[in-house]
Structure 1
Amino acid sequence: MKYLTFAAGLFSATAALAEAPTLTVYTYDSFTTEWGPGPLVEKAFEAQCGCDLKLVAAGDGAALLARLKLEGARSDADVVLGLDTNLIQAARDTGLFAPHAVSATFDMPVAWEDADFVPYDWGYFAFVQNKTLSAPTSFRALADSDLKIVIQDPRASTPGLGLLMWVKAAYGDEAPAIWAGLADNIVTVTKGWSESYGLFLDGEADMVLSYTTSPAYHLIAEEDDSKTAARFDEGHYMQIEVAGKLATSDQPELADQFLQFMVSDAFQSIIPTTNWMYPAVTPEGGLPDGFATLIAPGKALLLSPEEAAALRDPALAEWLTALSR
Structure 2
Amino acid sequence: MVSFASKALAVVTLGLLTVSALAQDKPTLTVYTYDGFAADWGPGPKLKEGFEAQCGCTLNWVAADSSIGTLRRVQLEGDTTEADLIVGLDQSIAGEARTTGLFAEHGLDLGGLALPETWSDAEFVPFDYSHFAFMYHSDTMAEPPRSFEDLIALPDDVKIAIQDPRSATPGLGLLLWVKAAYGDRAEEIWKGLKPHILTVTREWSESYSLFLEGEADMVLSYTTSPAYHIVEEDDDTIKAALFDEGHYPQIEVAGVLKSSPHQDLARQFLTYLTSAEAQAIIPTTNWMFPVVDLGDGLDPAFAGLPQPDKTLSLPEEDIVAHSADWIAEMLAAIQ
How many Å apart are 1:9 and its aligned residue? 6.3
Letter in 2 for 1:76: E
Partner of 1:27: 33
Counterpart in the other structure of 1:209: 220
2:84 aligned partner: 78
TM score, norm. by length of structure 1 = 0.94
Calculate the TM-score normalised by the size of structure 2.
0.91
CA deviation vs aligned residue, 1:46-99 (integer Å, no higher than 9, x gap): 100011101111122222222221111111110011111111111110000011
User: C-alpha separation between the residues in 1 aligned to 2:104 and 2:67?
Assistant: 19
CA distance in 2, matches of 1:311, 1:267: 36
CA distance in 2 between counterparts of 1:38 and 1:6 reads 37
Comparing 133-142 with 151-160, which one deviates more in the overlay? 133-142
Which of residues 129, 136, 150 in structure 1 aligns to 2:145? Answer: 136
Larger C-alpha radius of gyration, 1 or 2? 2
**Contact 1:121 / 1:271 at 8 angstroms: preserved in 2?**
yes
Distance in 2 between residues matched to 1:130 and 1:243, nearest whole Å = 33
Aligned length: 323
Displacement of 1:6 in angstroms is 7.9
- Alignment-derived partner of residue 108 in structure 1: 115
One-letter amino acid matched to 2:104: A
Matched, 1:232 2:243: yes
Per-residue deviation, 1:199: 1.9
Deviation at 1:193, TM superposition (A): 1.3
Aligned to 1:273: 284
Report the alpha carbon displacement of residue 286 of structure 1 after superposing the two structures with TM. Answer: 3.8
1:151 maps to 162
- Alpha-carbon distance in 1 for matches of 2:17, 2:40: 31
> Secondary structure in 1 aligned to 2:298?
coil
Q: Contact between 1:103 and 1:260, CA under 8 Å: does it hold in 2? A: no
Please name the residue that 1:192 is paired with: 203
Q: Distance in 1 between matches of 2:282 and 2:294?
A: 9
Q: CA deviation at 1:183?
A: 1.4
Equivalent pair of 1:268/1:282 in contact (CA under 8 Å): no
Distance 2:19 2:195 in 1: 61
What amino acid maps onto 1:197 in structure 2? Y
Cα offsets for 1:189-213 (capped at 9, x unmatched): 1111122212211222111110000
Shift of 1:225: 1.1
Please report how far the alpha carbon of residue 108 of structure 1 lies from its aligned counterpart in structure 2 after TM superposition.
1.2
Q: Distance in 2 between matches of 1:279 and 1:121?
A: 5
In 2, the alpha carbon distance for the partners of 1:157 and 1:11 equals 48
Aligned to 2:57: 51
Distance 1:206 1:248, change over 3 A: same
Match of 1:264 among 275, 279, 287: 275
Match of 1:97 in 2: 103
Q: What's the C-alpha RMSD, in Å, of the aligned pairs? A: 1.8
SS in 2 for 1:299: coil
1:124 aligns with 2:131: yes
Question: Which runs of 5 or more residues in structure 2 are unaligned?
Answer: none
Alignment deviations for residues 255-282 of structure 1 (CA, whole Å, 9 cap, x no partner): 1111111111111111111111111112
In 1, Cα distance between equivalents of 2:47 and 2:15: 29
Give the match's secondary structure for 1:97: coil
Residue in structure 1 matching 2:307, options 268, 293, 296: 296
* 1:176 positional shift: 0.3
How far residue 307 of structure 1 moved from its aligned partner, in angstroms, is 2.5
Residues 97 and 244 in structure 1, CA contact (< 8 A), matched pair in contact too: yes
Gapped runs of 5+ residues in structure 1?
Answer: none
Q: Give the direction of change, closer, same or farther, for the CA distance of 1:109–1:14 in structure 2 (3 Å limit).
A: same
* Structure 1 position 298, deviation (Å): 2.1
**Whole-Å Cα distance in 1 between the matches of residues 51 and 98 of structure 2?**
26
Shift of 1:159: 0.6
1:252 corresponds to: 263
Secondary structure of the residue aligned to 1:220 is helix
SS at match of 2:198: strand
1:36 aligns with 2:42: yes
